[in-house]
Amino acid sequence: MASSYKLFINGKWVNGSSGKTFRSTNPATGRLLGVFQEGNEKDVKKAVAAAEKAYPKWSELPPPTRAAILFKVAELLKKDKQRLGRLVTNEMGKVLPEALGDVQEAIDVFEYMAGEGRRFFGHTTTSELPDKFAMTIRQPEGVCGLITPWNFPMAIPAWKMAPALICGNTLVLKPSSDTPLCATALVQILEKAGVPPGVVNLVPGPGSTVGQEIVKNDKIRCLSFTGSRGTGEWILANAGLKKVGLELGGKNPIIIMDDADLELALEGVIWGAFGTTGQRCTAASRVIIHKKVKARFLKMLVSATKKLKLGDGTKSTTDVGPLVNRAAVEKSARYAEIGKKEGARMLCGGKAPRGKGFFFQPTIFSEVGRNMRIAQEEIFGPLLSLIEFKSLDEAIAIANGVQYGLSSSIYTKDVSNAFRAIQRLETGLTYVNSSTIGSEVHLPFGGVKGTGFTREAGIEGIDEFSHSKTVYVDYSGKLQKAQID
């Protein structure tokens, strides 16, 4: 019999107000993993009240004291990494090495942000007046609402929670309803590490109730969301006067020049397109390939893709795990049909195998026009479009010709090609001779255009969850008026 799990509010595991529950199942096998209390608006308000009550004491702790708890979280994650990795695979579906990487990201970001507890820097500068001191200090926002997706069920909550906590905020977390068990396990570790009651609150439940209340609640001063562009636009229209951070996906290109190392590029394309079954916001969904090497590369790519084995991510023989749910399978199948109707040529894949699990074959389209829907819209599945070009200028124009701007990549041996791409690609991340995925926690992560404007991780992760306050100290002993002669 599967275990039952509760909400976490004010340091206690409690039942939800709705009396309703929902289930989490393994997307590869259909096995029931747990039954969860379904939160609602009333539960969010209780969590916000608890976070408000805990905020003064938590925010007044010296940052190194808060850091000690974050370091403890990292240590507990390390000790439990194997179990947590298997949990990610079982609930989300990604293959075990990737799932362990998901947990490692959580470890890394808690360690990094704990270190920021001793680097909570402001600035000092000169004043335009004598006997006057000027500086800035950094302060927390207050109660933060965090809404996280299912594709990185440990890493993304950690990317938001760690900087929010080290800055002195308290928080309410709403995880995806596809991966509530991973979020519960993470919060259990925070509880074990000694996070005081009310500082961290967990309210799983639907976006239509829990999510909307978090967005609209005027006691929540800072909101961080990772998810779809449409939901992000709704959040901006409804959040009111609160600080909002958005990371809204991508349509990420890999440019392969005629001088590229094609074997290296092949590894990057396979990893970028079909790692996590294409369910990454940084997934490589477009390969923009030079006309001179297209035929050769296509032959290599199709051959390698057909060898990929679908299956349960816990098995060492599996290369590609399941999609997260049936709706994701149906979406991938729908876009495969759209590609064929638009006139693209399907070279492999395009079907959902029969049997248990939410699987979809890795799919490659060639002869793709830059304005086709499969080349413009985020699919979030294992579908890859190849688009031909003749010059670097054309390749960059194709790469930039979408509404998103998250990640990009170029394979070339020419340093001038690389630096022109770095300068002109309209994305928040650019990789040279590497795939579109692989961000590190000590560097900022985020995009431009329709991807949003958030920068998470690195020092800019601190900026997302805090603000600078300007301080003047006048020790002249008289009233001095700035800008007044």
Q: Name the token pair of 13.
A: 């595991």
Q: Which residues, 6 or more positions from 320, have their beta carbon under 8 angstroms from its beta carbon?
A: 95, 274, 277, 308, 309, 310, 311, 362, 382
Q: Which residues, 6 or more positions from 455, have their beta carbon under 8 angstroms from its beta carbon?
A: 428, 444, 445, 446, 461, 463, 464
Q: What is the dihedral of CA 458, 459, 460, 463, to 10 degrees?
A: 140
Q: Which residue has the tokens 């979280």?
A: 73
Determine how many CB atoms are found less than 10 A away from the CB of residue 383: 28
**Distance, CA of 158 to CA of 169 (rounded, Å):** 14
Q: Let me know: does 412 contact 260? Beta carbons within 8 Å.
A: yes
Annotated catalytic residues are 247, 281
| SS3 category, 177 | coil
Q: Name the token pair of 162.
A: 């760690």
Residue 202's Cβ-side half-sphere holds a number of Cα atoms within 13 Å equal to: 30
**Distance, CA of 312 to CA of 382 (rounded, Å):** 16
Q: Give the phi and the psi of residue 219 in degrees, each rounded to 5.
A: -85, -15
Q: Which residues, 6 or more positions from 354, have their beta carbon under 8 angstroms from its beta carbon?
A: none
Q: Give the phi and the psi of residue 80 in degrees, each rounded to 5.
A: -110, 15
Q: Give the phi and the psi of residue 335 in degrees, each rounded to 5.
A: -70, -30
With 0-12 / 13-18 / 19 or more C-beta atoms within 10 angstroms meaning exposed / middle / buried, residue 118 is exposed
Cα first-last separation, the chain: 79
Determine how many CB atoms are found less than 10 A away from the CB of residue 194: 11
Strands, E, within 291-351: which ranges? 345-348
